[in-house]
Structure 1
Amino acid sequence: MTSSADTFDKLDWRAIATQLDSEGYATLPRLLGADRARALAHEARTSNALRRASLDSLELGRGDLLYFGAALPQPWAHWRADFYRHLAPLANRWNEMFGIADRFPEALEAFLARNRRARQTQPQSHMNRLGAGDYLALHQRNEGEHVFPLQVVALLTAPGDDFTGGELVLTEQRPRMQSRPTVVPLGLGDAAIIATAQRPFKGSSGYYRVNLRHAISRVRSGERIGVELVFHDAPQAAHDQLACI
């Protein structure tokens, strides 16, 4: 079986970086095979190891978030480490554009050690399970001193077959402009890299920050199951308290 490291090493990271720079997201079609994606969705339905959080109780919509905790199961643990390794150089370039002196270390574990020293100890990666009428409101996961500017989402059920509706929606707010919504098309086994909260945008006077949020639109029928991998941990007091509009 091909490892995630081998798979990720073969991706066109230059093209991915270009799309992230211009749009704030990059899609990775069929990163998971259909059978593997469906098997992981089945685990979300049946596992007792995931901690359930109701979106309604969090005032973030309707449906369930299923948190992994500190020890992610496979393939998500490998995905998180391998994605981070490739995204850290881009995150450092974005910091440079923002005029931020801090740089992210090369390896995820070194970054998480930095989180722990700053008392960011609450893991945020999770699966989301949305049935008919459920949705995830616009939000960001940007709590804490050390926030990684990119995260990964993936879809484990098939649009049109397993569910309808449930589109991944991004909004972008530039200074003195109205919000720009974008629907990111995802199919079974597709992944997307998205900006966590902000990305640099080059204007006439240099780079400035563009604010981004993401959501999942209302599921009209069936059941939508996805995953969200967040590279930074949250502070204890901010856990499960997302910035929401």
Structure 2
Amino acid sequence: MIDTTHVADTRVGERVAAENWDALTAELDEYGHALTGPLLTPGVCRDIAALYDDTDRFRATVDMGRYRFGSGRYRYFTHELPDVVRELRAAFYPRLLPIARDWAEKLGKPAPWPGSLEEWVGMCHAAGQVKSAQILLRYGPGDWNALHRDVFGDMLFPLQVVIGLDAPGADFTGGEFIMTEQRPRAQSRGSSTTLPLGHGLVFTTRDRPVASKRGWSTAPMRHGVSTVRSGRRRTLGLVFHDAA
């Protein structure tokens, strides 16, 4: 039996900081998504995944089939986040903030994000977005997630992170993370990523800048999950804005 009150990893902040952020930034600028190295140990991944059955940890459960979002279920944490989830968000935000501001400048859009995550979340709450948007997802055989965006109101952070909690090829097959990008005056471009155990994928929440003949253009992006063919696929979703 694990202690579901505190799931922690004292080195997670160090691992996030130790990533090659120049390379990750370049990949995000080029493709709109970038895969990190291992951030969580297999044991911590198991502990986070096991929280799914502790219903008191969550404010809502969504059956994707019911809403025609795909097939499978996910749960939104309450604001009483497990320690490791809180640490991950706190570690990622200052690394993603320069990218968010750069993208906003290129697109000529406001960059309302302050230097601290706590202040930004306070701004979300003041605007009426008061619900936690941190997600624990679980897929079984035949489950999938339709292409979508995690936009919950006007207050939006342009990047988010998903972390794999199971090992592809061992715990499940299929279930690739997929993205589509609507290129300016061109056909859409698709991509797929196999998410390794404990690794994170940083990706575009809604749209990103792409170079064009006239400077910079907005490229809308959507994400989803391909059909899980066997086993069980669980992931942790880190969103840096709250929901209305």
The TM-score normalised by the length of structure 1 is: 0.91
Q: Kindly indicate whether residue 53 of structure 2 is the aligned counterpart of residue 32 of structure 1.
A: no
Q: Does the Cα contact within 8 Å between 1:95 and 1:103 map onto a contact in 2?
A: no
Q: In structure 1, what is the equivalent of residue 104 of structure 2?
A: 95
SS at match of 1:56: coil
Unaligned runs of 5+ in 2: 1-8
For residues 235 and 197 of structure 2, the distance between their equivalents in structure 1, rounded to whole angstroms, comes to 10
Q: Return the letter of the residue paired with 2:209.
A: P
SS at match of 2:121: helix
In the alignment of these two chains, the number of paired residues is 235
Deviation for aligned residue 1:47: 5.2
Q: In structure 2, what is the equivalent of residue 184 of structure 1?
A: 193
SS at match of 2:90: helix
Q: Return the letter of the residue paired with 1:10.
A: A
For residues 97-150 of structure 1, what are the alpha-carbon distances to aligned partners after superposition, in whole Å with 9 as ceiling and x for unaligned? Answer: 111133311111110111111111122111110011111110001231210000
Q: In structure 1, what is the equivalent of residue 148 of structure 2?
A: 139
SS at match of 1:186: coil
SS at match of 1:121: coil
For residues 5 and 223 of structure 1, the distance between their equivalents in structure 2, rounded to whole angstroms, comes to 28
Q: Does the Cα contact within 8 Å between 1:121 and 1:234 map onto a contact in 2?
A: yes
* One of 129, 132, 149 as aligned partner of 1:123: 132
Q: Kindly indicate whether residue 216 of structure 2 is the aligned counterpart of residue 223 of structure 1.
A: no
Q: In structure 2, what is the equivalent of residue 239 of structure 1?
A: none
- 1:101-116 counterparts in 2 under 5 A? 101-116=110-125
Q: In structure 1, what is the equivalent of residue 6 of structure 2?
A: none
For residues 147-203 of structure 1, what are the alpha-carbon distances to aligned partners after superposition, in whole Å with 9 as ceiling and x for unaligned? Answer: 000000011011111111111001111122222110012111111100001010011
Q: CA RMSD of the aligned region, Å?
A: 1.5
Q: Does the Cα contact within 8 Å between 2:34 and 2:203 map onto a contact in 1?
A: yes
SS at match of 1:80: helix
Q: Does the Cα contact within 8 Å between 2:168 and 2:194 map onto a contact in 1?
A: no
Q: Return the letter of the residue paired with 1:14.
A: D
For residues 38-80 of structure 1, what are the alpha-carbon distances to aligned partners after superposition, in whole Å with 9 as ceiling and x for unaligned? Answer: 2322232455423321111222011111111222112111111
SS at match of 2:83: coil
Q: Does the Cα contact within 8 Å between 2:100 and 2:111 map onto a contact in 1?
A: no
The range that moved more, 178-187 or 204-213, is 178-187
* One of 25, 41, 45 as aligned partner of 2:49: 41
For residues 143 and 42 of structure 1, the distance between their equivalents in structure 2, rounded to whole angstroms, comes to 27
Q: Return the letter of the residue paired with 1:35.
A: G
SS at match of 1:188: coil
Unaligned runs of 5+ in 1: 236-245
Q: In structure 2, what is the equivalent of residue 240 of structure 1?
A: none
Q: Does the Cα contact within 8 Å between 2:177 and 2:225 map onto a contact in 1?
A: yes
Q: Percent identity?
A: 37
